[in-house]
A and B are shown apart, each in its own frame.
Chain A
């Protein structure tokens, strides 16, 4: 689990298997305890702002890897272990969450 947001895609991360952050919404809500896919994340690598639901998603078996659709940088990585979630968000510069009106 390196933290380099510019790390290359693993070979298994081909386009055919690509989903999006919507697919991770259930897992993310378990983790964050609020609906996070509508939040807008700013990529640390390229500065693009993308709703979490629109990030590229891979590896949903043990957890979640969400990448920037602009530069492929890893933005959020969350793994579910024994009784705990482990989250790395080094690739997110800012997370904007709308407050309920």
Chain B
């Protein structure tokens, strides 16, 4: 997810010192003020890490307990704010990986080595640690089973995260599995694949685009590393030809969600429109050049 504030070398940002509500943003009203502030619509909340799941060598999922979490839609994100001992704050956005049906919020964070926030979230943070977040944020890049399909997901690397929330929701929501769905996911190599086992299970074990009898088919493509023996997926970058082979045709009027690094998203979205998909049926979310934002 994109960076909201400036990059720059601030070492030593670690656990947040937490102000329970809206801390830091606005000065507190003077005690004599008779007018109470309305509750912040986007309040900073304290999240506690319940569990950490290593997804890949550089990506971890944080299972969070967030008191009074108002619920979210698949595809939405949160802002995370860390505060250093000297008061310096760094803020980043991270997509929500968990479906609305689960009580715990899950973020999956890819470590950007020179980032300000991800090294802590994806490296040092552990169960029991707390930090500030606010959300859910965003209403454009969202999908629910009620919106129907067909549902076409196209992920570049860690762009899979908000799409995973959609897939998990599809599996749990009433009528979700009746929505035909396809996922085309692009990875540098097998080692970078996030949620690989779970995605295979959701698709009934099929990973070659053959379909699964549950309405979900999945294709992975590897862009840099040679695939392992027996690889049934694609090789190389997602291009117009691969899209033509692997995604729902424009004539089927799918809802298409594309998420990944900026160049990936722009190339895929342009190719989809060139293939005849209506621009307003292609929802996009760009992560920025590094694919993580830090």
List residues of A whose CB falls within 8 A of some B CB: 15-23, 25-27, 29-30, 33-38, 49, 51-54, 57, 60-61, 83
Contacts and interface: CB of A to CB of B under 8 A. Distances in A.
A19 B139 contact: no
Contacts of B134: 26
B4 A27 contact: yes
Interface of B: 1-6, 26-27, 41-42, 77, 79, 93, 134-135, 137-142, 262-263, 266, 280, 283-286, 288-289
A26 B3 contact: no
Contacts, number: 85
B4 A53 contact: no
6 contacts: A18-B266, A22-B285, A29-B42, A35-B138, A37-B139, A60-B3
Contacts of B26: 83
A21 B285 CA distance: 8
Contacts of A30: 42
B141 A53 contact: yes
Count chain A CB atoms within 10 A of each CB in B1, B266, B280, B286 and give the residue with the most: B286
A51 B140 contact: yes
Contacts of B285: 20, 22, 53
A16 B266 CA distance: 11
A23 B2 contact: yes
Contacts of A17: 288-289
Contact of B138 (A18, A49, A53): A53
Given A26-B4, A33-B41, A60-B4, 7 more contacts: A23-B1, A23-B2, A26-B134, A49-B280, A51-B140, A53-B285, A57-B2
